[in-house]
Amino acid sequence: MWTALLIIHIVSGSLALLAGLVAMTIPKRHGGHTMLGTGYVALVSLLSVSAIGLAALKPSLWWLGVIAVVTLAAALAGRELRRRRPPGWLPLHISLMCGSYVSLTTALLVVNLGLGSVLAWVLPTVVGTPLIARRAARAARAARDASGPGRTGVTVESASRPGPRLRRP
pLDDT beyond 60 at 160: no
pLDDT digits over 75-115, tens only? 999 999 999 999 999 999 999 999 999 999 998 888 877 76
The whole model's pTM is what? 0.82
Binning the chain into helix, strand and coil, the percentages to the nearest 5 are: 75, 5, 20
Report yes or no: 88 and 137 within 8 Å, Cβ to Cβ. Answer: no
Which residues are CB-neighbours of 20 under 8 A, at least 6 positions away?
Answer: 36, 40, 97, 100, 101, 104
Encoded amino acid at 161, one letter: R
The mean per-residue pLDDT over the stretch 35-44 comes to 96
How far is residue 50 CA from its own chain's centroid? 18
Which residues are CB-neighbours of 144 under 8 A, at least 6 positions away?
Answer: none
pLDDT band at 143, cuts 50/70/90? confident
What's the pLDDT at 69?
Answer: 93
